[in-house]
Amino acid sequence: MRLDLLLRISSKIFLPFIILFAFYVQFHGDFGPGGGFQAGVIFAAGVILYTIIFGVKKAQKDFPEKIFNFMVPLGVLIFTVTGLISLSKGYNFLDYDALAHYPKHGQHIGIIAIELGVFVTVIGSMVSIFYAFVGRGKK
Amino acid sequence: MNEHAPALVAMLPIIGAILIMLIRHNHLNWLIALLSGFGTMYYSIILYLDARSMETISYAMGGWEPPVGIEYRIDEFNALLIALISIMSFLILIYAKSSLSNELKKNKISTFYSMYLLCLGGLIGILSTGDAFNAFVFLEISSLATYVIISMGGDRRGLLAAYQYLIVGTIGATLYVIGVGLIFIITGSLNLYDISVKLGDVELYRPLLASLAFITVGIALKIALFPLHAWLPNAYAFAPSVGTAFLASTATKVAIYLLIKYLYLVYGFDLVYSNQIFIFVVLSLSVLAMFGASVIAIFQSNLKKLFAYSSVAQIGYITLGIGIANYNGLIGSTVHIINHSIIKAAIFLAIGCLVFSSKIVNIDQLAGLGKKMPMVAVCITISSLSLIGVPGTVGFISKWYLVLGSLEQGWWVVVFALAVSSILALIYVGRIIELIWFHAPVSSIVSENKIPFEMIAVTVLMTIATIYFGIDTRLTGDLAKIAVENVLLGEQL
């Protein structure tokens, strides 16, 4: 642990930027390249980097596995609830026009909500898979 | 809400699956599963009634009109199968609680329910969607959930079976997507109805044929058509009893529907059946399935594996009807999809009861079961007899239509094959019946657990259904006739 001082310091510097870039890709998704999946993978890459540098034990204490396991269905729930809201307003399932007074505005909100769901699920599943692999044989 | 039924039948199980995964409560999970299963069943019946009273229901997902958007297209045929599948899975869910708490570890039960509902949602999605790529997505959803269900049986060989199915299933899905890709290049559309219209004036015959081959083989892997069936016996044998009953009564049937949809509604009767080689391949593989799988079933010692091989043989009957491709043959196929679903559910639920009470896995442990557990023994006997096709059971009805269909075509060889395969079925079923009723009880089976009421009730209900629909064919036979007349052969008749 002593020898990798350089790695630890530089990854600590990098981590906030990785997370920030993930959010940039997330919210810039409807103007430029990007979207929930890519943003989720970048975010998860940040957590994975942290685990590689600081060890599984510390990472799982700081980012408990339970949270990520919970995030997998949570994202799908966000997705479905968006669909159900349009359903409850009398529109077809996942019709974003229902989400705001102006259809165009509704489409914007809809995309953001859906991508948020994808983002949450992708982070959850990526990190869960990673934790499942690195945690093998420990218990 | 009724006009949104096409979306709701596919969404309710998935919402249930999400909620179970989020809450992960030991008692609530069953209730949530039951509730979403009931909701699905309710809307599937409404959907069927709607499909009967209207022409074809078209539902634009997300408000994007077809052919650009994803269309859910409900006609009398797929509405019938949606209703069948959601009713079966609801009944199996009632049964599931006690059986699962006996067979699974406590922390795995929530995951099982979640995967069960996810698989159900995927299967209903395949049935209801009118979009080639959306069908692939739902195929993957249901398959991924199936892999998990198979691996949860507790036996280590179950993991291997799940892995085997994972590899085979992925290959199947890949071939399917390649086929869809070819169609997309030819027609520029992914909407199945739109494709069927555009294929009418396509001159590129060879790529079209290639796409037909890719899609047929890809789906055949999911159906477990005879030489591609290797994943099925192990998967059925090592999955939890509830999982086996669910998969045997729904999953392969949905894949068969997808094949029928492509052959009749997308490529069209004329294109597919002007191709003599295609008919020959389908017919000979079906006959091989009826023979080969039945012969292998005779030599099995594991009870679930025996009936898994018998499933492969019975799938041969269904594809035989697709190959015969006349009015009676298709009715035979459609009726057998329904009947085989009921029969196999009854058998695997009865086996689940045996596993629950005394951990019976092998056939020789069945000796003297008639005295120990008469109720379950009667259920297994009756439902096995309907596998053979004894008059008065559902198996007879489907075989009757298949024989009629092949006689109309003048194919005596096929009629002969049907008769011989019934005799083979008689052999493997006969072994079981002999052991149950004419052998002295083995001392090793002691009835340990008392089987709960709801497990027996659902098993008996399914068994009664195998007799009831064998005598009164008004429901199954007539609904199948309507489906075949109005949807599949609409233009031929």
Q: pLDDT at residue B20 above 90?
A: yes
pLDDT at residue number B492: 59
What does the pLDDT average to over B403-413?
90
Q: CA-to-CA distance for B485 and B492, rounded, in angstroms?
A: 9
CA nearest to B169, candidates B122, B112, B210: B122
Task: Say if CB B33 and CB B117 are below 8 A apart.
Answer: yes
pLDDT at residue number B113: 94
**DSSP track, B281-337:** HHHHHHHHIIIIIHHHHHT--BHHHHHHHHHHHHHHHHHHHHHH-SHHHHHHHHHHH
Of the residues B2, B9, B18, the best mutation for testing chain A's interface (the one with the most A CB atoms within 10 Å of its CB) is B18
Q: Which residue has the tokens 């070819």?
A: B182
pLDDT at residue number B203: 74
Angle between helices B109-128 and B76-103 (to 10 degrees): 170
pLDDT at residue number B16: 94
By percentage, how much of chain B surpasses pLDDT 70? 98
Q: Where are the domains of chain B?
A: 300-493
Here the ipTM equals 0.90
Q: CA-to-CA distance for A82 and A112, rounded, in angstroms?
A: 10
Query: Which portions of chain A are predicted below pLDDT 50?
Result: none
Task: Say if CB B298 and CB B428 are below 8 A apart.
Answer: yes
Which A-chain residues 57-86 have CB contacts (< 8 A) with chain B? 70, 72-74, 76-77, 80, 83-84, 86
Q: What pLDDT digit, counting tens, does each position of B427-471 carry?
A: 999 999 998 888 887 766 566 778 889 999 999 999 999 999 988
Token pair for B214: 């890719």
CA nearest to B297, candidates B391, B229, B383: B229
The alpha carbon of residue A97 is apart from the nearest alpha carbon of chain B, in Å, by: 8
Q: What is the DSSP letter of B190?
A: -
pLDDT at residue number A91: 87
Token pair for B396: 């007879």
Q: CA-to-CA distance for A58 and A50, rounded, in angstroms?
A: 9
pLDDT at residue number A22: 94
Amino acid present at B476: T
pLDDT at residue number B358: 81
Q: What pLDDT digit, counting tens, does each position of B166-225 carry?
A: 999 999 999 999 999 999 999 989 999 999 888 877 777 788 889 999 999 999 999 999
A124 touches chain B (CB under 8 A): no
Helices (H), B26-152: 28-53, 76-103, 109-128, 132-151
Token pair for B320: 């035989």
Q: What pLDDT digit, counting tens, does each position of B106-123 carry?
A: 888 999 999 999 999 999
Residue B62: which of A74, A84, A94 has the nearest Cβ? A94
pLDDT at residue number B442: 72
Of the residues B1, B2, B3, B4, the best mutation for testing chain A's interface (the one with the most A CB atoms within 10 Å of its CB) is B4
Task: Say if CB B57 and CB B47 are below 8 A apart.
Answer: yes
The pTM for the full model equals 0.93
- Residue B149: pLDDT band with limits 50, 70, 90: very high
Residue B63: which of A70, A73, A91 has the nearest Cβ? A91
Token pair for B83: 């209703």
The pLDDT mean for chain B works out to: 90
Q: CA-to-CA distance for B412 and A91, rounded, in angstroms?
A: 55
The alpha carbon of residue A73 is apart from the nearest alpha carbon of chain B, in Å, by: 5
Using CB atoms within 10 Å of the CB of residue B274, give its burial: 0 to 12 exposed, 13 to 18 middle, 19+ buried. exposed
Q: pLDDT at residue B385 above 60?
A: yes
Of B151-155, B236-240, B371-375, give the range with the top mean pLDDT: B236-240
Task: Say if CB A120 and CB A89 are below 8 A apart.
Answer: no
pLDDT at residue number B2: 80
pLDDT at residue number B153: 85
* Cβ-defined contacts of B484-488 (< 8 Å, 24+): B484/B77, B484/B327, B484/B330, B484/B331, B484/B334, B485/B327, B486/B75, B486/B76, B486/B77, B487/B75, B487/B76, B487/B77, B487/B264, B487/B265, B488/B77, B488/B260, B488/B264, B488/B265, B488/B330
Collapse the DSSP code of B274 into the 3-class scheme (helix H, G, I; strand E, B; otherwise coil) and give the result: coil
Token pair for B479: 């609904």
Residue A93: which of B18, B19, B61 has the nearest Cβ? B61
Lowest mean pLDDT among A103-107, B248-252, B309-313, B441-445: B441-445
Token pair for B420: 């011989």
Q: CA-to-CA distance for B191 and B71, rounded, in angstroms?
A: 7
Contacts of A95 in chain B (CB under 8 A): 62-63
Residue B392, phi-psi category: left (phi > 0), alpha (psi -120 to 50), beta (remainder): left
B468 backbone dihedrals φ, ψ, rounded to 5°: -60, -50
By percentage, how much of chain B surpasses pLDDT 90? 59
B327 touches chain A (CB under 8 A): no
Contact B11 A83 (CB under 8 A): yes
